[in-house]
Amino acid sequence: MITTAVHYFRWAFVFTLIGVILAFWLGWTTTGTLAGALSFGLVGTVLAILEISLSFDNAVVNANKLKTMAPVWQRRFLTWGILIAVFGMRIIFPLAVVAIAARIGPWEALVLAASQPDEYARIMEEAHLSISAFGGAFLMMVALTYFIDDGKKVDWIATLETNLRRLAPIRGMQISCVLVFVLGFGTALGGEERSTFLYSAMFGLVTFSAVEVIGQLLDRERAARDTARAGGLGAFLYLEVLDASFSFDGVIGAFALTKNLFLIAIGLGVGAMYVRSMTIMLVERETLAHFRYLEHGAFYSIFFLSLIMMAQSQVHVPEVLTGLVGAGLIGLAFWSSVRENGSGARS
């Protein structure tokens, strides 16, 4: 068991060592003291743990999608995709948000992050409403698309999931459900905040629909040329947008621990490498096939994460609580799967 873990997480361990060294060096160059260097190393470690706790469900959903993808696209996602996730979402995304919000160029945003971290963090915090609405709407569509599906065969919470599956023939049911939540949370806001929330949520819905349409068109063309397993560029794009939506909470929450963009990138980047390792292990060992309710727990976690993101438009929800909810649901699903496997073996 230990040997297996070392095999799958060896690159994550290497990246952790590099990340700790970089965080220590960044602290030393920033503060000029050993205490400051150690403080930066500690904060980087906490950020990595935060990212891992928030991303259990991300790894399960990634594995669920990857098992249907062609091997070449699996490799591309696990190499290029993780680079996009680490550098795109943890570095470029915060810079882009600040550049757009402050109406400055990308280089000016980078200089601002390095020279005025408090101002940089303030601008990021002001963009939190838009990010929460967009991510909440997108992730809720992900969860409801899984549950409101007449092709779904396995149920964990049978009564609830059976009733949700019966709604599948009703066209647009997933979008209608999301709109109810969006309007509910949006109504509680006033004036300009309401407009921002509703507009951003609509953009999240449009993005989900666009990714779905593009994915189906691209994979349909591929299927027409090749009878091999479907799942190419369209699925790759879907996973990248999904990872982006998962990352919103961690990136924003990281500013509660430190205002240093580069330390945030190091800590969250280390966490992202562990998510990649978990994803590979789930796919190669076919864990989802052995633990039949694990992906159910992940999608329930996604649904509650989407609710939390929308709720953050009005109240602050600690990231630790968000991580515990996700890990708790997946842990409960894992325990139910083990019990199911045990009862099946006895019968």
At 97-122, the pLDDT tens digits run 778 777 788 888 888 887 887 888 78
Q: Would you list the DSSP string of 30-73?
A: HH-SHHHHHHHHHHHHHHHHHHHHH-HHHHHHHHHHHTTS-HHH
Would you say residue 159 lies in a domain? yes
Question: What pLDDT does residue 249 have?
Answer: 62
Q: Which residues of 207-222 are buried (b: 16+ CB within 10 A; e: fewer)?
A: bbeebeeebeebbeeb
DSSP class of 80: I
pLDDT band at 230 (very low <50, low <70, confident <90, very high): very low
Q: Which of 150-159, 250-259, 332-341 has the lowest mean pLDDT?
A: 250-259
Interval 258-272 mean pLDDT:
81
Question: What pLDDT does residue 227 have?
Answer: 39
Q: Which of 50-59, 68-77, 94-103, 221-230 has the lowest mean pLDDT?
A: 221-230
pLDDT band at 135 (very low <50, low <70, confident <90, very high): confident
Domain containing 150: what range? 2-341
Would you say residue 347 lies in a domain? no
Higher pLDDT, residue 2 or 272: 272
Would you say residue 86 lies in a domain? yes
Output the pTM of the full model: 0.75
At 137-147, the pLDDT tens digits run 988 998 898 89
Q: In the predicted model, what is the mean pLDDT of the chain? A: 79
Higher pLDDT, residue 152 or 226: 152
Are 67 and 295 in contact by the 8 Å Cβ rule? The answer is no
| DSSP-derived 3-state class of residue 288 | helix
Would you say residue 61 lies in a domain? yes
Question: What pLDDT does residue 199 have?
Answer: 92
Question: What pLDDT does residue 229 have?
Answer: 41
Are 23 and 40 in contact by the 8 Å Cβ rule? The answer is yes
User: Residues with Cβ < 8 Å from 330, sequence gap 6 or more?
Assistant: 56, 57, 60, 294, 297, 298, 301
Question: What pLDDT does residue 252 have?
Answer: 65
CA–CA separation, 271 and 49 (whole Å):
7
Q: Which of 295-299, 316-320, 334-338 has the lowest mean pLDDT?
A: 316-320
Question: What pLDDT does residue 45 have?
Answer: 84
In the predicted model, is pLDDT for residue 301 greater than 50?
A: yes
Domain count across the chain: 1
pLDDT band at 232 (very low <50, low <70, confident <90, very high): low
Interval 310-314 mean pLDDT:
86
Question: What pLDDT does residue 228 have?
Answer: 40
Question: What pLDDT does residue 221 have?
Answer: 52
Q: Which of 33-37, 238-242, 271-275 has the lowest mean pLDDT?
A: 238-242
Question: What pLDDT does residue 178 have?
Answer: 94
Q: Which residues of 226-260 are buried (b: 16+ CB within 10 A; e: fewer)?
A: eeeebbbbbbbbbbbbbbbbbbbbbbbbbbebbbb
Would you say residue 346 lies in a domain? no
Are 201 and 133 in contact by the 8 Å Cβ rule? The answer is yes
DSSP class of 148: S
